[in-house]
């Protein structure tokens, strides 16, 4: 057994090489395994190495503690707010990595026990096999803090049934493990107590054969049945409301439904929507809807533009105000600017979607022979 620890000081990523199996543990449980530069770089480097290594057949990713991953390190964004493009490198590396996770050539498994949110869920949902438990909690809450659904989620959410993608992206609503499987964002639901045994069995199989791995996971998994109260049982209302042309129309339609008998569940969701960043909501809705007609690489390139323009506060500084209110001062009283949907002009929203000069776009190759090209260190950003 060869074990390698990346970043000995923090030990935020642990890597084990066990026969033909490679195990990655996101190991920052006190911070819910947030994704920082110290996570992205070693993860990308190892995935590239293993895809090219004939001995590596199966890659397992899991999280230490009660989280799989709670997503990006928001404080890194906030602390860099006064330095232009201080977070550009980690954003570029993460979105580039997301492409390779979606298109990885070896069999991959996420053992996503616990919190799996935002960018953290981008290490779960695209895997060949994504295993969840009763403790798994998923959401994409970025719009509420003035950001947008990123890390490939404008691609993934847009492909969910009906208008569920718009609903999840705009409201940040949570899904549990069973709901994730039912919605198609995870492949298997495994009883919590069986998860260690499943991992041990996968290691003993020592194979990346997709059929064998899938059969093994199925032995440990149970069929899912979702509660009558589940949001997935509200698909007709979601489709009716979240198919409207604009965020304002969606909210208006949702308000109408809230007044009908049996729709009390809508009231707290509406409250959250109305407290969210108007800019974040408008950008997120457009991005998800564009995503329906875009390829994965087109979505990632678009998300890269939106993120960089958002962090540059090109049309609004809401993302920094949202992070301040949520994680810095924790007063949960953000002051959005613009403060209303009607004051967020479409012409302004257009600006964050504008393509960059070709050299400054995210480089994602769709050719097999050079699929690992386009790294940050080879980009125009690194040689300015």
Structure tokens at 157: 């959410």
Exactly one of 119, 169, 177, 317 is catalytic; name it: 119
Rounded alpha-carbon distances, angstroms, from residue 358 to 291, 328, 363, 367, 380? 20, 36, 9, 18, 10
Structure tokens at 21: 């199996």
- 72 noted as active-site residue: yes
- 63 noted as active-site residue: no
Q: Among all chains, which residue has been given the structure tokens 């996101």? A: 26
Q: What is the DSSP string of 151-169?
A: TTHHHHGGGSSTTHHHHHH
Exactly one of 72, 120, 169, 208 is catalytic; name it: 72
- 150 noted as active-site residue: yes
Exactly one of 73, 150, 179, 321 is catalytic; name it: 150
- 142 noted as active-site residue: yes
* CA angle in degrees (0–180, nearest 5) for 294-132-230: 75
Give CA–CA dist 84/337, Å, rounded. Answer: 20
Give CA–CA dist 126/173, Å, rounded. Answer: 20
Rounded alpha-carbon distances, angstroms, from residue 75 to 44, 87, 320, 322, 370? 22, 11, 9, 11, 34
Which helix (H) or strand (E) covers residue 384, if one does? none
Give CA–CA dist 97/372, Å, rounded. Answer: 10
Active-site residues, by number, are: 72, 119, 142, 150
């Amino acid at each position: 057994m060869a074990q390698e620890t990346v970043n000995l000081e923090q030990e935020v990523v642990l890597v084990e090489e066990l026969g033909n199996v490679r195990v990655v543990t996101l190991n920052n449980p006190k911070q819910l395994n947030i994704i920082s530069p110290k996570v992205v770089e070693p993860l990308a480097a190892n995935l590239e190495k293993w895809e090219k290594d004939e001995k590596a057949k199966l890659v397992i990713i899991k999280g230490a503690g009660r989280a799989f991953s709670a997503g990006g390190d928001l404080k890194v964004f906030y602390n860099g707010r006064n330095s232009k493009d201080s977070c550009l490198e980690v954003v570029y590396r993460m979105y580039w990595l997301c492409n390779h996770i979606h298109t990885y050539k070896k069999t991959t498994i996420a053992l996503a026990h616990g919190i799996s949110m935002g960018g953290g869920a981008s290490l779960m949902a695209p895997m060949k096999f994504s295993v969840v438990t009763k403790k798994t909690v998923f959401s994409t809450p970025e719009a509420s803090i003035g950001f947008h659904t990123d890390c490939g989620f404008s691609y993934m959410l847009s492909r969910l049934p009906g208008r569920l993608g718009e609903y999840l992206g705009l409201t940040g609503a949570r899904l549990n493990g069973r709901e994730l499987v039912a919605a198609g964002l995870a492949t298997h639901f495994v009883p919590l107590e069986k998860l260690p045994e499943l991992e041990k069995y996968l290691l003993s199989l020592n194979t990346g054969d997709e059929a064998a791995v899938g059969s093994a996971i199925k032995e440990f998994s149970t069929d899912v049945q979702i509660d009558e109260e589940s949001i997935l049982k509200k698909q007709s209302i979601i489709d009716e409301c979240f198919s409207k042309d604009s965020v304002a129309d969606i909210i208006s339609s949702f308000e109408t439904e809230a007044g009908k008998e049996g729709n009390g569940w809508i009231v707290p969701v509406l409250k959250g929507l109305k407290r969210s960043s108007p800019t974040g909501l408008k950008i997120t809705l457009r991005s998800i809807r564009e995503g329906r007609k875009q390829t994965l690489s087109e979505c990632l390139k678009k998300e890269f533009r939106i993120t960089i323009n958002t962090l540059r506060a090109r049309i609004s500084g809401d993302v920094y105000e949202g992070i301040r209110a949520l994680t810095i001062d924790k007063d949960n009283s953000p002051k959005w600017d613009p403060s209303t949907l009607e004051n967020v002009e479409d012409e302004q929203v257009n600006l964050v979607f504008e393509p960059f000069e070709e050299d400054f776009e995210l480089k994602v190759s769709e050719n097999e022979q050079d699929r690992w090209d386009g790294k940050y260190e080879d980009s125009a950003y690194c040689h300015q």
